[in-house]
Structure 1
Amino acid sequence: MKKTYGVAIKQRTEQIKPVPMDLGVTEGSRVVLGAAKRVISTHEKVLKALAKR
């Protein structure tokens, strides 16, 4: 059994299809930066715990 360090892992119910995106334009890079900020803020405690290991 894999250690999850108190994180509940849910199995996906449906497949998510990737969307083509042009990262060369400002809109594409803004979307990527926004997604990265959301991931960091959502998983901030887990990232800090992993950084301290």
Structure 2
Amino acid sequence: MEKPKLTAADIERKYGIRLIAPRPLVRPIEMDLSGPEGHRVWMTAARRVMVKHAKTLAALAKR
């Protein structure tokens, strides 16, 4: 037995949520990381990683 296909209008009426179209992919750009702007980008990325993985880094430091 095959399930009936729901359209976006059916889903909105039945569940009260509106489906949105997926965002287009954003391609990475090539950038020069030498110089003060590149250093700032690199340090910001490193800080973001350190904040996100703080518990893992702390556990590894205790070993």
- Shorter-chain TM range is 0.5 to 0.7
Determine the structure 1 residue equivalent to 2:23: none
Over the residues paired in the alignment, what is the CA RMSD in angstroms? 1.8
Deviation string for 1:1-53 (max 9, x for gaps)?
Answer: xxxxxxxxxxxxxxxx7643322221111000000000001100000001101
Give secondary structure in 2 for the equivalent of 1:24: coil
**Which structure shows the higher helix fraction?**
2
Moved over 2 A (4+): 17-21
Give secondary structure in 2 for the equivalent of 1:38: helix
Q: TM-score, normalised by structure 2?
A: 0.50
Determine the structure 1 residue equivalent to 2:38: 28
Q: Which has the larger radius of gyration?
A: 2
Unaligned runs of 5+ in 2: 1-26
% identical aligned pairs: 54
Unaligned runs of 5+ in 1: 1-16
Q: TM-score, normalised by structure 1?
A: 0.58
